[in-house]
Amino acid sequence: MEGFRIPLGDWIESGVDWITDNLEWLLDLISLVVRWLVDTLTDALVATPFVLTVLVAALLSWLVRSWQMGVGTLVTFTLIAAMDVWEPAMQTLALVLIAALVAVVISIPVGIWSARNATVRAVVKPVLDFMQTMPAYVYLIPAIVFFSIGVVPGVIATMIFALPPGVRMTELGIRGVDAETVEAAHAFGATPGQILRGVQLPLAVPTIMAGVNQVIMLALSMAVIAGIAGADGLGKNVVEAISTINIAKGVENGLGVVFLAVFLDRVTAALGNPADYRSSLLGMLRRRRATQRATTTADEIAREKASPRRTPVPTGA
C-alpha cells in the first residue's frame, strides 16, 4: 500500500490549532482557575507547620483506619520532612487533590447518567476504553499545546488520565443495586430521583468510594509523569534525577511518592467501608454507643419487669 496514507494526525493537529486560535479565552480562563486552585492549596499546605500537618494526617489515619496506621503515617511523614522533600511533597499532594477532585466531580455524574441510560452507556464505554489504553505520556502533548509549560497542563493531563475508573465504578455501583430493592421503592411511589438519592446511591457508596480510591491512585501516578511538563513537585525532582543520574535524589523523591500513595490509598479505602475497621477511632466510638444503647435498653426492660403495670380491676355495672 505504498503511497496510501490517511493523514489522521494532520487532521487532529488542525483541530488542535483551531481550538488554540478560536478558544483562547476559554483556555486562559481554565488556566487561571486551575493555577489559582493549585497555588492556593499549595501555599496553605507549605505554610502550615509540618508538625501540625503530620499530626493531623496521623489523627485522620487513626480516625478512619487504625492506630497502627496512625503511627505509620506519623513515621513516614516525619521521614518525608527529614529527607528534605517536604515542600515538593506538598506541591504534589496539592496537584493530586485538585486533579482528583475535578475528576470525581465529573466522573460520578457521568457514571450515574451512564448507569441510567443505555444510549449514554454505549457512547461512554468506548471513550473510556480509549482513555485507559492511551499511553499516559500522550496526554501531555495537547495539554502542553493548550496551556504551555507548568502546573496547569500537569493538572489537566492528570485529571483526564484518572477519570475513567470513577465513571466505571460509579456505573457499576448503581447498576449493582438489587433490582428488587429498586422495585420496592417504585411500589411505594418513589420518583426516579428519590430512588437514586435514597436507595441506589447509599447502597452504591462502597463501590463508588473504590472508584474514588482508584482515581486518586492514578492521579498520583500521573502527577509524577506531569513533572515532565514542568509541574513542581516530587515528579519534577524525579525527572531531574533521571536526567542527571542522581540516585540519592531519585530514591528520596520516589519514597516521598510511595509514602503519599500509601496514606491516600489506606484513608480512602477506609472511607468506603468504615464498618470493616473496628480498631479505628470511629469504630471504637460506634461500639461504645452501641454498648450504651444496649445497656439502656436492658435497664428499661429490667425496670419494667421489676414494676409491672397492674391490670385494671373490672367493676360491676
pLDDT of residue 284: 78
What residues of the chain score a pLDDT lower than 70?
Answer: 1-3, 306-317
Distance CA 124, CA 208 (A): 17
Amino acid at the residue 218: L
Q: Is residue 52 part of a domain?
A: no
pLDDT digits (tens, 9 = 90+) for 28-80: 898 899 999 999 999 999 998 989 999 999 999 888 888 888 899 999 999 99
Please report, for the domain that includes residue 171, its CATH number: 1.10.3720.10
Integer angstrom CA distances of residue 46 from 17, 61, 150, 233, 317: 38, 20, 19, 12, 87
Domains contained in the chain, number: 1
Using the Cα atoms of residue 144, residue 147, residue 148 and residue 153 in order, give the sign of their dihedral.
negative
**Cα–Cα nearest to 70, from 206, 262, 274, 288:** 262
Say what angle helices 234-244 and 86-116 make with each other, to 10 degrees: 120
> Does 69 reside within a domain?
no
pLDDT for 317: 47
Task: Output the pLDDT for position 312.
Answer: 58
Structural domain harbouring 153? 40-46+86-272
Q: How far is CA 236 from CA 97, 117, 150, 151, 223, in A?
A: 17, 42, 10, 10, 9
Q: Is residue 293 part of a domain?
A: no
For residue 252, give the C-alpha cell. Answer: 528520596
| 134 three-class SS | coil
Give pLDDT tens digits for 251-292: 999 899 999 988 988 888 888 777 777 777 777 787 777 777
Residue 4, in any domain of the structure: no
Q: Residue 88 has what pLDDT?
A: 92
Classify residue 171 by burial, with Cβ atoms within 10 Å: 0-12, 13-18, 19+.
buried
* pLDDT of res. 80: 92
Residue 192 lies in a domain: yes
Question: Nearest to residue 168, comparing CAs of 218, 107, 118, 100?
Answer: 107
- What pLDDT is attached to residue 79? 92
Residue 234, judged by CB atoms within 10 A of its CB (0-12, 13-18, 19+), counts as: buried
Those residues whose C-beta lies under 8 Å from the C-beta of residue 107, and which sit 6 or more positions away, are 163, 164, 165, 166, 167, 170, 211, 215
Q: Within the chain, what is the greatest distance between any pair of CA atoms?
A: 115
Q: What is the pLDDT, as a whole number, of residue 16? A: 82
**What CA–CA distance (Å, rounded) separates 131 from 149?**
22
- What number of other Cβ atoms are within 10 A of residue 202's Cβ? 10
Residue 101, in any domain of the structure: yes
Q: Does the residue 227 lie in any domain?
A: yes
In the chain, % of residues over pLDDT 90: 25
Q: Measured at the alpha carbon of residue 40, what is the angle toward residues 212 and 86, in degrees to the nearest 5?
A: 75
For residues 255 and 234, give the distance between their C-alpha atoms in angstroms, rounded to a whole number.
Answer: 10
pLDDT of residue 52: 93
Instruction: Establish if 241 belongs to a structural domain.
Output: yes
